Structure 1
Amino acid sequence: MAISLNKNSSVSLSKEAGGSGLTRIALGVGWDMAPAKGFFAKLSGGNESIDLDASCLVFDGGGNIVDVVWFQKLTSDDGSIRHSGDNLTGEGDGDDETIMIDLTRLPSNVETLVLTVTSFRGQTFDKVANAFGRVIDLATNRELARYDISESGSYTGLILASLKRSGGEWIYKALGERAQGVHVQQLADQSRSLI
């Protein structure tokens, strides 16, 4: 059973994988539209779709960005990180966007990965429901950790979680830090301050 995380809590993914030699993981993100309310919702016929984008900032030990994987760059320079592609609506069950990481291929200078979610059209997270981030061990297809985002609000970006190399282990930390920005580069400085 996966560990359910709260904001600022963390877990060793290596231990959660049961010592099976964690090699490949997926960071999945999912969301739904919050139900439209009020008079204008009835006039417009209900909900409009929301385009959230999952992205991954790749940092070295000095806090420098060495790569960014997002909907406009689906594969890292070294090929170790791959994005599933842009989901424009969030419709359907399960993960809406996924970032797959081959931990064995990450360069040795990579110390931290930061997962962000931004609203491409500038819609705020008060229009989002049932949002979550999770980590799956791709060797066993087992969910290792999950972070349900229950906070809504008038922000357009979320620094969701970090994945940090620590003494031969990978530590996943739920950050849940609100941000303003419609693409990942606008969250870079705030993300750096959290690692």
Structure 2
Amino acid sequence: MAISLSKGQTISLNKVSDNLNHLHVGVGWDPAIPKGLIARLTGPKEIDLDASVITFDQKKEPTGIVYFGKLESPDGAIKHMGDNLTGDGDGDDEVIAVDLTRLDDTTETLVFFVNSYQGHTFEEVDNAYCRVTDADSGQEFCRYTLSDKGAHTGVVMAILSRNAGDWQIKAVGMPGVGRTADQLVPDALRHI
């Protein structure tokens, strides 16, 4: 059964499973239903959000980024599974796959974001979430639902960090100011 995380809550992957090495971090969202009669008649507009991940070493220095423009990390451990331009449909809109066994030994922290390169704000988004599944079984083991709205264009969704041989995931859900993943590095540093 999946754990519904609250903002700031952390869980250990070792407590979820002894052999959890292949993860899918999925994000999903829906375009908000517009307000006003004319807007409702035209329907919700397409919202293009982008999932991304930035890796950091032990000194909290950024070491890599995976996003729609760079779909794989140099070590092959992190792969972006494709860009959804609309937010339409059910389920995960974008997925990042992580193979913990292939991560570079210097990687200590992975920070997962969702942001809008086109400048859409989270006032225009409904039902945003981040969830983590076992990539081998498809079993969801945790989910964080974002309820905060605002004029920001990015959100630090979750942090996956190495802690004495154990990987832990923390729900963050804090606004960011960048429209691209590399612009969100300062936001990531505030939370690791």
- Report the TM-score range of the alignment, normalised by the length of the smaller protein: over 0.9
**Preserved contact between residue 13 and residue 144 of structure 1 (Cα < 8 Å):** no
d(CA) in 1 for partners of 2:79, 2:131: 16
What amino acid maps onto 2:9 in structure 1? S
d(CA) in 2 for partners of 1:35, 1:103: 38
Q: What is the correspondence of 1:40-189 to structure 2 with a 5 Å cutoff?
A: 40-42=38-40, 45-189=42-186
d(CA) in 2 for partners of 1:134, 1:13: 13
d(CA) in 1 for partners of 2:48, 2:161: 28
Report what 2:29 is aligned to: 31
Q: TM-score, normalised by structure 1?
A: 0.95
% identical equivalent positions? 47
Q: TM-score, normalised by structure 2?
A: 0.97
d(CA) in 1 for partners of 2:38, 2:178: 26
Q: Which runs of 4+ in 1 moved over 2 A?
A: none
Mark the runs of 5 or more structure 2 residues left unpaired by the alignment: none
Alpha-carbon offset, residue 40 of structure 1:
4.2
What amino acid maps onto 2:61 in structure 1? N
Mark the runs of 5 or more structure 1 residues left unpaired by the alignment: none
Alpha-carbon offset, residue 47 of structure 1:
1.4
Closer, same or farther: CA 40–154 of 1 in aligned 2, 3 Å = farther
What amino acid maps onto 2:64 in structure 1? D
The root-mean-square deviation of aligned C-alpha atoms, in Å, is: 1.0
**Preserved contact between residue 53 and residue 71 of structure 1 (Cα < 8 Å):** yes
d(CA) in 2 for partners of 1:74, 1:51: 17
**Preserved contact between residue 33 and residue 40 of structure 2 (Cα < 8 Å):** no
